[in-house]
Amino acid sequence: MIRENWVKQRLAAGEPAIGSWITIAHPTVGEVMAQAGFDWLAIDMEHGVVGVESVQTLCQAMSGTPTVPLVRVPWNDQVIIKQVLETGVQGMVIPQVRTAEEARAAIAAAKYPPAGIRGIGCQRPAGFGAWFHEYLQKSNDNLVIIVQIEHVQAVENLHEILAVKGIDAILIGANDLSASMGLLGQPTHPEVVKVIEKIHAAACAAGVPPGIIAASPDDANKRIAQGYKFIGIGLDVGFLSTACRDICGKIQWNGGDTTSS
């Protein structure tokens, strides 16, 4: 039977959904992070070294947990979207959406007719045929679709994008946004922060749940208080790197420096 998408339900109810990102294409990573208690985990095909087969394996690893598996596709491409949906992900993050037309194209690629143009298959989300007809009837309403606002062109077209039917939330990409503003590597620059606040206000006014990447649990709590609903914290390699560097930094040794006498 189809697994209900409770992240979509939470967003529709105005409740926050907290998640993180997977960039390591190994099922143990997905299983460990899903068991930690995140509402959602987004498998990152845009920046992670993750292929379609690994997306399915990661979804399988999460299937015994309440965590909702999402995927950030590498690009807003209908062929890629069609393929990843057959792995069993329950939603998508679409990067670099800059116009209403691009947002509509992403939604159309993810939905079956008459709402979209998705081709009909019989793979994992349909139980390989076991609940094929149920999946056809419920898939359109069960998928959560997040579009990323991360370019000045998207900001210029923001109100038109927010008016597109079928967007469940937006996700502000501060790093790419700052780069498009000529402020590469400065996502906390006052001018970038001003634009982020503008995006947030417009999304709230349009009734579209705003999302953002938080720097820490404390920052996530701050963002929740500000009204953000789709909030990501960290990623697998970041957690691993931070923990390893913290351990090595606290041990009194030469850190592998073979030049020491």
Helix axes 27-35, 52-62, angle to 10 degrees: 40
Phi and psi dihedrals of 88, rounded to 5? 110, 5
By C-alpha distance, which of 160, 151, 173, 42 is closest to 103? Answer: 160
**What is the structure's pLDDT at 254?**
72
In contact, 169 and 42? CB cutoff 8 Å? no
| CATH class name, domain 6-250 | alpha beta
Among 62, 73, 75, residue whose Cα is nearest residue 19: 62
Q: What is the pLDDT of residue 259?
A: 52
* Residue 257 reports pLDDT greater than 90: no
Distance CA 4, CA 81 (A): 20
pTM given for the model? 0.95
pLDDT per position as a tens digit, 217-254: 999 999 999 999 999 999 999 999 999 999 999 998 77
Tokens of 24: 């390591």
pLDDT over 50 (residue 261) = no
pLDDT at 256: 56
| Catalytic annotation, residues | 47
Measure the CA–CA gap between 44 and 24, rounded to whole angstroms.
9
Angle at 36 between CA 54 and CA 213, to 5 degrees: 75
Residue 260 has pLDDT above 60, yes or no: no
* pLDDT (tens digit per residue) in 4-30: 999 999 999 999 999 999 999 999 999
Domain boundaries, the chain: 6-250
Q: Which two tokens stand for residue 214?
A: 């938080």
29-83 residue pLDDT tens: 999 999 999 999 999 999 999 999 999 999 999 999 999 999 999 999 999 999 9
| Secondary structure, 3-state, 195-210 | HHHHHHHHHHHHCCCE
Structure confidence by residue, pLDDT tens digits, 125-165:
999 999 999 999 999 999 999 999 999 999 999 999 999 99
Alpha-carbon gap, residue 109 to 59, rounded angstroms: 20
Of 113-127, 201-215, 244-258, minimum mean pLDDT range = 244-258
Kindly give the pairing relationship between strand 40-44 and strand 68-72: parallel
Evaluate the omega torsion of the peptide bond into residue 66 and state whether it is cis, within 30 degrees of 0: no
The total number of residues written for the chain in this structure: 261
Assign residue 7 a region (left: φ > 0; alpha: ψ between -120 and 50; beta: otherwise): alpha
CB-neighbour burial class of residue 246 (10 A; exposed 0-12, middle 13-18, buried 19+): exposed
